[in-house]
Amino acid sequence: MAEKKQKKFTNPFGTVVESLYDLFDKKAPRYLLMTIMTAFLIYLPLSSSRFTQEIMTNLFFYVVVCLGLNIIVGFAGLLHLGYAAFFAVGAYTTGILSSVYGVNFWLTLPFSIIAAVIAGLAIGAPTLRLRGDYLAIVTLGFGEIIRLTVRNLDITGGAMGLIGIQRPVLFGIVLNQITHFYYLFFILAVIAIIVSYRLHDSRLGRAWEYIREDEDAASAMGINVVQIRLYAFIIGSAFGALAGSLYAAKMTAISPESFMFIHSVMILLAVVLGGMGKIPGVILGAIIVTLIPELSRDIGQFRLIIFAVLLLILMLYRPQGIWPERQGISTKL
Protein backbone atom coordinates (compact mmCIF):
# COMPACT_ATOMS: atom_id res chain seq x y z
CA MET A 1 0.00 0.00 0.00
CA ALA A 2 2.53 2.53 1.21
CA GLU A 3 4.96 1.72 -1.57
CA LYS A 4 2.31 2.22 -4.18
CA LYS A 5 1.59 5.68 -2.87
CA GLN A 6 5.28 6.54 -2.85
CA LYS A 7 5.69 5.62 -6.48
CA LYS A 8 2.82 7.78 -7.61
CA PHE A 9 4.57 11.10 -7.18
CA THR A 10 6.47 11.09 -10.43
CA ASN A 11 4.38 14.09 -11.44
CA PRO A 12 6.48 17.04 -12.67
CA PHE A 13 5.41 19.25 -9.81
CA GLY A 14 6.71 16.71 -7.31
CA THR A 15 10.06 16.44 -9.10
CA VAL A 16 10.56 20.18 -9.05
CA VAL A 17 9.84 20.26 -5.34
CA GLU A 18 12.13 17.28 -4.78
CA SER A 19 15.09 19.11 -6.28
CA LEU A 20 14.15 22.18 -4.28
CA TYR A 21 14.20 19.97 -1.22
CA ASP A 22 17.72 18.78 -2.03
CA LEU A 23 18.70 22.41 -2.15
CA PHE A 24 17.26 23.03 1.30
CA ASP A 25 18.74 19.90 2.76
CA LYS A 26 22.30 21.02 2.26
CA LYS A 27 23.42 23.78 4.52
CA ALA A 28 25.47 26.02 2.20
CA PRO A 29 22.85 26.42 -0.56
CA ARG A 30 20.20 26.88 2.07
CA TYR A 31 22.01 29.77 3.69
CA LEU A 32 22.82 31.32 0.32
CA LEU A 33 19.21 31.09 -0.78
CA MET A 34 18.03 32.51 2.52
CA THR A 35 20.42 35.45 2.32
CA ILE A 36 19.28 36.30 -1.19
CA MET A 37 15.64 36.02 -0.20
CA THR A 38 16.08 38.12 2.91
CA ALA A 39 17.91 40.83 0.95
CA PHE A 40 15.17 40.82 -1.66
CA LEU A 41 12.39 41.04 0.91
CA ILE A 42 14.11 43.88 2.75
CA TYR A 43 14.52 45.76 -0.53
CA LEU A 44 11.01 45.04 -1.84
CA PRO A 45 9.04 47.89 -0.18
CA LEU A 46 11.44 50.46 -1.66
CA SER A 47 10.27 49.67 -5.16
CA SER A 48 6.77 48.30 -4.88
CA SER A 49 3.24 49.57 -4.59
CA ARG A 50 1.19 49.78 -1.42
CA PHE A 51 -0.92 46.95 -2.81
CA THR A 52 2.05 44.59 -3.13
CA GLN A 53 3.23 45.51 0.34
CA GLU A 54 -0.25 44.84 1.70
CA ILE A 55 -0.27 41.37 0.16
CA MET A 56 3.21 40.59 1.38
CA THR A 57 2.36 41.78 4.91
CA ASN A 58 -0.63 39.48 4.84
CA LEU A 59 1.64 36.67 3.66
CA PHE A 60 4.07 37.22 6.54
CA PHE A 61 1.15 37.17 8.95
CA TYR A 62 0.04 33.85 7.48
CA VAL A 63 3.55 32.42 7.70
CA VAL A 64 3.56 33.18 11.42
CA VAL A 65 0.17 31.66 12.19
CA CYS A 66 0.80 28.66 9.94
CA LEU A 67 4.12 27.97 11.64
CA GLY A 68 2.36 28.35 14.98
CA LEU A 69 -0.33 25.86 14.04
CA ASN A 70 2.36 23.63 12.56
CA ILE A 71 3.88 23.20 16.01
CA ILE A 72 0.56 21.75 17.18
CA VAL A 73 -0.57 19.89 14.06
CA GLY A 74 2.70 19.13 12.33
CA PHE A 75 5.23 18.68 15.11
CA ALA A 76 2.97 17.15 17.76
CA GLY A 77 0.40 15.57 15.44
CA LEU A 78 -2.64 17.07 17.20
CA LEU A 79 -5.65 18.03 15.11
CA HIS A 80 -6.65 21.59 15.96
CA LEU A 81 -9.79 23.01 14.36
CA GLY A 82 -10.12 26.29 16.22
CA TYR A 83 -6.79 28.03 15.83
CA ALA A 84 -8.36 31.37 14.88
CA ALA A 85 -9.70 31.53 18.43
CA PHE A 86 -6.14 31.80 19.73
CA PHE A 87 -5.28 34.74 17.58
CA ALA A 88 -8.59 36.22 18.64
CA VAL A 89 -7.40 35.84 22.25
CA GLY A 90 -4.24 37.76 21.36
CA ALA A 91 -5.97 40.39 19.27
CA TYR A 92 -8.64 41.10 21.87
CA THR A 93 -6.18 41.16 24.76
CA THR A 94 -4.17 43.82 22.97
CA GLY A 95 -7.33 45.51 21.71
CA ILE A 96 -8.96 45.83 25.13
CA LEU A 97 -5.79 46.84 26.98
CA SER A 98 -4.94 49.38 24.30
CA SER A 99 -8.29 50.96 23.41
CA VAL A 100 -10.03 50.72 26.80
CA TYR A 101 -7.14 51.10 29.24
CA GLY A 102 -4.66 52.94 27.03
CA VAL A 103 -1.81 50.50 27.69
CA ASN A 104 1.25 50.85 25.46
CA PHE A 105 1.11 48.30 22.63
CA TRP A 106 4.40 46.61 23.47
CA LEU A 107 3.32 46.11 27.08
CA THR A 108 0.19 44.30 25.91
CA LEU A 109 2.25 41.53 24.30
CA PRO A 110 3.19 39.68 27.49
CA PHE A 111 -0.46 39.77 28.56
CA SER A 112 -1.47 38.42 25.20
CA ILE A 113 0.92 35.51 25.61
CA ILE A 114 -0.24 34.88 29.18
CA ALA A 115 -3.87 34.86 28.03
CA ALA A 116 -3.02 32.34 25.30
CA VAL A 117 -1.13 30.14 27.73
CA ILE A 118 -4.08 30.14 30.13
CA ALA A 119 -6.53 29.38 27.32
CA GLY A 120 -4.20 26.69 25.97
CA LEU A 121 -3.90 25.07 29.40
CA ALA A 122 -7.65 25.22 29.98
CA ILE A 123 -8.35 23.50 26.66
CA GLY A 124 -5.31 21.26 26.44
CA ALA A 125 -4.77 19.92 29.95
CA PRO A 126 -8.07 18.02 30.17
CA THR A 127 -8.35 16.95 26.53
CA LEU A 128 -4.79 15.93 25.72
CA ARG A 129 -5.16 12.97 28.09
CA LEU A 130 -7.92 11.62 25.88
CA ARG A 131 -7.82 10.19 22.38
CA GLY A 132 -6.94 12.51 19.52
CA ASP A 133 -10.45 13.01 18.16
CA TYR A 134 -11.57 14.73 21.34
CA LEU A 135 -9.10 17.55 20.86
CA ALA A 136 -10.45 18.22 17.38
CA ILE A 137 -14.00 18.50 18.73
CA VAL A 138 -13.06 20.59 21.75
CA THR A 139 -10.96 23.04 19.73
CA LEU A 140 -13.75 23.33 17.18
CA GLY A 141 -16.14 24.16 20.00
CA PHE A 142 -13.68 26.57 21.61
CA GLY A 143 -13.37 28.48 18.35
CA GLU A 144 -17.10 29.08 18.23
CA ILE A 145 -17.34 29.87 21.95
CA ILE A 146 -14.68 32.56 21.68
CA ARG A 147 -16.33 34.11 18.64
CA LEU A 148 -19.75 34.16 20.30
CA THR A 149 -18.32 35.46 23.55
CA VAL A 150 -16.55 38.44 21.98
CA ARG A 151 -19.71 39.09 19.99
CA ASN A 152 -21.82 39.37 23.11
CA LEU A 153 -19.63 41.05 25.68
CA ASP A 154 -19.56 44.82 26.16
CA ILE A 155 -15.86 45.05 26.81
CA THR A 156 -15.10 43.44 23.45
CA GLY A 157 -17.41 45.84 21.64
CA GLY A 158 -20.03 43.23 20.73
CA ALA A 159 -20.72 42.56 17.07
CA MET A 160 -19.27 45.96 16.14
CA GLY A 161 -15.94 45.03 17.56
CA LEU A 162 -13.24 47.25 19.01
CA ILE A 163 -12.01 50.44 17.43
CA GLY A 164 -9.30 52.91 18.32
CA ILE A 165 -6.52 50.46 19.08
CA GLN A 166 -3.35 52.54 19.46
CA ARG A 167 -0.56 52.39 16.95
CA PRO A 168 2.69 50.96 18.25
CA VAL A 169 5.59 53.36 18.65
CA LEU A 170 9.10 52.16 17.92
CA PHE A 171 12.20 54.35 18.42
CA GLY A 172 9.94 57.39 18.45
CA ILE A 173 8.30 56.49 15.14
CA VAL A 174 4.55 55.86 15.14
CA LEU A 175 3.97 52.74 13.08
CA ASN A 176 1.12 53.80 10.83
CA GLN A 177 2.35 53.12 7.29
CA ILE A 178 1.92 49.86 5.48
CA THR A 179 5.70 49.80 5.00
CA HIS A 180 6.16 49.86 8.78
CA PHE A 181 3.92 46.87 9.20
CA TYR A 182 5.55 45.16 6.27
CA TYR A 183 8.86 45.22 8.16
CA LEU A 184 7.26 44.43 11.52
CA PHE A 185 5.54 41.32 10.21
CA PHE A 186 8.62 40.39 8.22
CA ILE A 187 10.69 40.40 11.40
CA LEU A 188 8.03 38.39 13.19
CA ALA A 189 7.99 35.85 10.35
CA VAL A 190 11.77 35.52 10.47
CA ILE A 191 11.62 34.99 14.23
CA ALA A 192 8.87 32.40 13.75
CA ILE A 193 10.98 30.53 11.21
CA ILE A 194 14.08 30.54 13.41
CA VAL A 195 12.10 29.45 16.48
CA SER A 196 10.46 26.68 14.45
CA TYR A 197 13.78 25.35 13.20
CA ARG A 198 15.34 25.50 16.63
CA LEU A 199 12.39 23.74 18.23
CA HIS A 200 12.46 21.11 15.52
CA ASP A 201 16.13 20.35 16.11
CA SER A 202 15.92 20.05 19.87
CA ARG A 203 15.10 17.58 22.57
CA LEU A 204 11.52 18.85 22.58
CA GLY A 205 11.22 18.65 18.79
CA ARG A 206 12.50 15.11 18.73
CA ALA A 207 10.12 14.14 21.53
CA TRP A 208 7.19 15.38 19.41
CA GLU A 209 8.43 13.29 16.53
CA TYR A 210 8.84 10.19 18.70
CA ILE A 211 5.29 10.55 19.97
CA ARG A 212 3.96 11.04 16.46
CA GLU A 213 5.80 7.96 15.24
CA ASP A 214 4.88 5.64 18.10
CA GLU A 215 3.23 6.86 21.27
CA ASP A 216 3.79 3.67 23.28
CA ALA A 217 7.43 3.35 22.34
CA ALA A 218 7.90 7.02 23.23
CA SER A 219 6.46 6.57 26.70
CA ALA A 220 8.55 3.43 27.15
CA MET A 221 11.54 5.67 26.48
CA GLY A 222 10.52 7.80 29.43
CA ILE A 223 8.69 10.55 27.56
CA ASN A 224 5.73 12.09 29.36
CA VAL A 225 3.39 12.09 26.40
CA VAL A 226 0.68 14.33 27.87
CA GLN A 227 3.15 16.95 29.07
CA ILE A 228 5.12 17.09 25.83
CA ARG A 229 1.90 17.45 23.83
CA LEU A 230 0.73 20.19 26.15
CA TYR A 231 3.98 22.04 25.49
CA ALA A 232 3.26 21.98 21.77
CA PHE A 233 -0.29 23.13 22.29
CA ILE A 234 0.72 26.06 24.47
CA ILE A 235 3.68 27.17 22.36
CA GLY A 236 1.54 27.04 19.24
CA SER A 237 -1.23 29.00 20.97
CA ALA A 238 1.23 31.67 22.10
CA PHE A 239 2.48 32.04 18.51
CA GLY A 240 -1.09 32.61 17.36
CA ALA A 241 -1.83 35.12 20.10
CA LEU A 242 1.29 37.13 19.31
CA ALA A 243 0.33 37.29 15.65
CA GLY A 244 -3.18 38.32 16.73
CA SER A 245 -1.81 41.20 18.81
CA LEU A 246 0.17 42.55 15.87
CA TYR A 247 -2.83 42.10 13.64
CA ALA A 248 -4.90 44.23 16.04
CA ALA A 249 -2.24 46.96 15.98
CA LYS A 250 -2.13 46.97 12.20
CA MET A 251 -5.89 47.10 11.70
CA THR A 252 -6.60 49.38 14.73
CA ALA A 253 -10.06 47.80 14.65
CA ILE A 254 -11.10 44.19 15.14
CA SER A 255 -14.44 42.45 15.03
CA PRO A 256 -15.65 38.90 15.69
CA GLU A 257 -15.83 38.31 11.95
CA SER A 258 -12.03 38.46 11.74
CA PHE A 259 -11.85 35.20 13.67
CA MET A 260 -14.37 32.90 12.06
CA PHE A 261 -14.08 29.15 11.62
CA ILE A 262 -13.13 29.62 7.97
CA HIS A 263 -9.87 31.26 9.05
CA SER A 264 -8.98 28.27 11.19
CA VAL A 265 -9.69 26.11 8.17
CA MET A 266 -7.54 28.18 5.82
CA ILE A 267 -4.57 28.05 8.19
CA LEU A 268 -4.98 24.31 8.67
CA LEU A 269 -5.27 23.96 4.90
CA ALA A 270 -1.99 25.77 4.37
CA VAL A 271 -0.24 23.49 6.89
CA VAL A 272 -1.65 20.28 5.41
CA LEU A 273 -1.13 21.43 1.81
CA GLY A 274 2.52 22.29 2.30
CA GLY A 275 3.29 19.25 4.41
CA MET A 276 2.71 18.96 8.13
CA GLY A 277 5.81 19.26 10.27
CA LYS A 278 8.05 20.40 7.42
CA ILE A 279 8.92 24.05 7.84
CA PRO A 280 9.65 25.01 4.19
CA GLY A 281 6.53 23.09 3.22
CA VAL A 282 4.38 25.04 5.65
CA ILE A 283 5.78 28.33 4.33
CA LEU A 284 4.97 27.16 0.82
CA GLY A 285 1.45 26.32 2.01
CA ALA A 286 1.08 29.82 3.45
CA ILE A 287 2.23 31.30 0.16
CA ILE A 288 -0.29 29.26 -1.81
CA VAL A 289 -3.19 30.08 0.48
CA THR A 290 -2.51 33.84 0.55
CA LEU A 291 -1.37 34.42 -3.02
CA ILE A 292 -3.86 32.35 -5.03
CA PRO A 293 -6.86 34.53 -4.07
CA GLU A 294 -4.86 37.63 -5.04
CA LEU A 295 -3.99 36.45 -8.53
CA SER A 296 -7.22 37.88 -9.84
CA ARG A 297 -10.53 38.99 -8.46
CA ASP A 298 -12.36 36.28 -10.36
CA ILE A 299 -10.24 33.58 -8.83
CA GLY A 300 -10.73 35.16 -5.42
CA GLN A 301 -14.43 34.42 -5.66
CA PHE A 302 -13.81 30.76 -6.38
CA ARG A 303 -11.13 30.49 -3.76
CA LEU A 304 -12.86 27.82 -1.71
CA ILE A 305 -13.63 25.66 -4.74
CA ILE A 306 -10.03 25.92 -5.93
CA PHE A 307 -8.73 24.92 -2.51
CA ALA A 308 -11.19 22.05 -2.27
CA VAL A 309 -10.01 20.69 -5.63
CA LEU A 310 -6.36 21.24 -4.70
CA LEU A 311 -6.85 19.38 -1.46
CA LEU A 312 -8.59 16.48 -3.23
CA ILE A 313 -5.79 16.13 -5.77
CA LEU A 314 -3.26 16.28 -2.98
CA MET A 315 -4.99 13.62 -0.89
CA LEU A 316 -5.00 11.32 -3.91
CA TYR A 317 -1.45 11.86 -5.12
CA ARG A 318 0.56 13.23 -2.22
CA PRO A 319 -1.09 12.60 1.15
CA GLN A 320 2.10 13.72 2.90
CA GLY A 321 1.75 17.25 1.47
CA ILE A 322 3.65 19.01 -1.31
CA TRP A 323 6.96 19.04 0.51
CA PRO A 324 8.73 15.65 0.33
CA GLU A 325 9.38 13.33 3.27
CA ARG A 326 12.92 12.67 4.43
CA GLN A 327 14.33 9.85 2.36
CA GLY A 328 16.91 7.11 2.86
CA ILE A 329 20.10 7.97 4.67
CA SER A 330 19.64 11.36 6.24
CA THR A 331 22.39 13.91 5.86
CA LYS A 332 21.02 15.81 8.79
CA LEU A 333 23.13 14.29 11.51
Partner 1 sequence: MALLDIKDLTLRFGGLCAVNQLSLEIEEGSIRSLIGPNGAGKTCVFNCLTGFYKPSSGDMVFMGTSIMKKKPHLITHMGMARTFQNLRLFKQMTVMENVMSGMHCRTNAAFAGAVLRTQSQKAEEKLIREIAEECLDFVGILDKKNYMAKNLPYGDQRRVEWARALATQPKLLLLDEPAAGLNKEEKARLINLMRRIRDERKVTIFLIEHDMGLVMKVSEKIFVIDYGVKIAEGTSKEVRDNPRVVEAYLGKEETEDAV
Burial of 16 (0-12, 13-18, 19+ CB in 10 A): exposed
Q: How far is the CB of 235 from partner 1 (least distance, A)?
A: 6
What is residue 33's three-state secondary structure? helix
Q: How far is the CB of 304 from partner 1 (least distance, A)?
A: 33
99 touches 166 (CB < 8 A): yes
Choose the binding region for partner 1 from 41-49, 102-110, 213-221, 258-266 (rule: CB under 8 A): 213-221
Number of Cα atoms under 13 Å in the Cβ half of residue 217: 8
Tell me the C-alpha distance between 289 and 307, whole Å.
Answer: 8
Choose the binding region for partner 1 from 96-104, 114-122, 224-232, 296-304 (rule: CB under 8 A): 224-232
Which are the contacts of 27, defined by CB distance < 8 A and separation ≥ 6?
none
Position 189 contacts partner 1 (CB under 8 A): no
Position 1 contacts partner 1 (CB under 8 A): no
Position 242 contacts partner 1 (CB under 8 A): no
Give the x-and-dash track for 293-322 against partner 1 (CB under 8 A). ------------------------------
Position 46 contacts partner 1 (CB under 8 A): no
**In the chain, which ranges are continuous DSSP H helix?**
2-8, 12-25, 27-43, 50-70, 83-99, 105-127, 132-152, 178-200, 203-213, 215-220, 225-251, 261-274, 279-295, 297-301, 303-317
Position 26 contacts partner 1 (CB under 8 A): no
* Burial profile 251-283: b = 16 or more Cβ within 10 angstroms, e = fewer: bbebbbebbeeebbbbbbbbbbbbbbbbbbbbb
Q: Which residues pair with 119 in a beta bridge?
A: none
Count residues contacting partner 1 (CB under 8 A)? 34
Q: How far is the CB of 161 from partner 1 (least distance, A)?
A: 33
In terms of CB distance, is 226 or 253 closer to partner 1? Answer: 226
Position 195 contacts partner 1 (CB under 8 A): yes
In terms of CB distance, is 6 or 152 closer to partner 1? Answer: 6
Tell me the C-alpha distance between 140 and 328, whole Å.
Answer: 38
Position 123 contacts partner 1 (CB under 8 A): no
Choose the binding region for partner 1 from 4-12, 153-161, 195-203, 298-306 (rule: CB under 8 A): 195-203
**Residue from 35, 152, 301, 331 binding partner 1 (CB under 8 A):** 331
In terms of CB distance, is 238 or 271 closer to partner 1? Answer: 238
90 touches 242 (CB < 8 A): yes
Position 3 contacts partner 1 (CB under 8 A): no
**Residue from 204, 230, 249, 279 binding partner 1 (CB under 8 A):** 204
> What residue ranges bind partner 1 (CB under 8 A)?
195, 198-199, 202-207, 209-210, 213-214, 216-225, 231, 235, 325-333
